[in-house]
Each structure stands twice: as structure tokens, then as C-alpha cells.
Amino acid sequence: MSFLPSDFHNLLRYDSLTFDSGLAAAFTVGYRLEDRPEDVWSARFTKFKFDPDDATTEGAARLMAHAGRILVRGLGLNPGKTVFAPALRSGEQVADPDGVIALLARRCAGACRYQPELLQKEPHLSTGRGGLDPAFRELLLEEAGYRSASAGDAETIIIVDDFIATGKTLSLAATAILERNPDTTVYGFALAKPEWHAMMLDWYDVDVGNGHIPPDWSAIWANSA
């Protein structure tokens, strides 16, 4: 099973993740290369994640809105029956309507439907960067008890997050959505996937980078450079 993405209308499409139960596929704009801080897009994604300001947040939201339109068109989706919903932070029971993930999902939705309270879970300790053993992080997510509301007559649901690592959060969310909405197709969508350039070169002999992102997309993120 390959975990390498394919190019999908200048996005990265992942048909396999470490955890992908319930997901038809997951998409990102690009990579956040942990060992390539000089990479322009990695630097933008890192600033958004760890040192955001208003311009960075707005730049990311504009880019996701643009990429969201491409995703809907590329998948041939019916906007009236497509729902965008925010993923949940560790401390959230439902998505914070003023939070950055909700902002990304709302902007992505565009002409589609936006359902901010589609997902619910129990708050838990952060599973973020460093500190926690991977097995413990997985246990925390498993104990979160993801639940989904009805998405009505939706045919497609797209869960929006900022970054995709192993896919565990998206997988649990997708499984909960399909339990309540079994006739839907669920996708994940995020800004980037963290990767190590050296590791991908060593393991897969693939020189990963963000060369697939069109140069004019930098103008969409203009105020966050």
C-alpha cells in the first residue's frame, strides 16, 4: 500500500493514510516539510500553525477557499448536496464557531453547505507536536467518542482541518459521520501534511516538495509572506 499522494488539479490527493477508515480520500494543498524551513510554502504553513497573525490566518483562509472550489469542481460534486464541516480540536466538544478551523471550513464551503456542528466528541488532552507517546495519542483519540449529527440529504461531506498527520482524527470523524449518514461519501481536506524530506527520499526514493503548487497561488496568500 502506497502512502504517496497523486496530483489532483494542483492539490495532493491521498488515497491511503496510516488511518483512513471511512475516508474516500484526503486532500491537502501541499507539504509542511519539517526539515526544509527554507521552502516557502513550508514556512507559510509553519507560521500559520505555530506563530499566526491576522495576515497569515487570512492568507490561509483565502487559499483554502480557492482550493475548496477546485476540489468541488474536480470531484464533480453537487454543491447543493455537499457539506463542509470543521474538524475538532482536542479541547473542543463541538467546533468553536470563532476558531481557525471553523474559519477554514466556512471559507471552503463557498456555494456548498456549511454545517459547523456536524461533529461532536469529548474533550481530551492535546495530541499535538511532541511530548506524548504515539500509542497514548491514539488512545486519547479513541476515547474521544466521536459522534455525528444528521447531514440531511447531503451526498458528500468534506471534513476540513489545518493539517493531516496520520489521518486518525479524520478517520474517527468519518466513521462517526457514516454511522449517522450511511449514504454519504466522506473526504478530508487540509492545508498541508507534515513530512520529512530526507525520510521520504530514503524510504520511497521520492524528492517531495511543493513544486505542484501554481506560482500564482502565492498571490492568494499575499499578505502572509
Closest CA to 100 of 30, 38, 31, 53: 53
Q: Which CATH number fits domain 6-224: 3.30.2390, 1.20.120, 2.60.40, 3.40.50?
A: 3.40.50
At 133 the pLDDT is 52
Domain boundaries, the chain: 6-224
C-alpha 219/C-alpha 39 separation (Å) is 16
The pLDDT tens digits of the residues spanning 103-162 come to 999 999 999 999 999 999 988 666 554 444 556 555 666 677 899 999 999 999 999 999
Mean pLDDT of 47-51: 94
Predicted confidence (pLDDT) at residue 6 exceeds the cutoff of 80: yes
At 89 the pLDDT is 86
222 versus 21: which is more confidently predicted?
21
DSSP string, the chain: -----EEETTEEEES--SS-TT-SEEEEEEEEETT-TTSHHHHHHHHHHHS--HHHHHHHHHHHHHHHHHHHHHHT--GGGEEEEE---TT-SS--TTSHHHHHHHHHHTTSEE-TTSEE--------SSSS-HHHHHHHHHTT--EE---TT-SEEEEEEEE-SSSHHHHHHHHHHHHH-TT-EEEEEEEEEEE-HHHHHHHH-----STTS-TTHHHHTGGG-
At 156 the pLDDT is 98
Predicted confidence (pLDDT) at residue 196 exceeds the cutoff of 90: yes
* Average pLDDT in the chain: 91
* Percentage of residues in the chain having pLDDT higher than 90: 80
Mean pLDDT of 3-13: 94
Mean pLDDT of 76-82: 98
At 90 the pLDDT is 82
Closest CA to 126 of 136, 115, 111, 116: 136
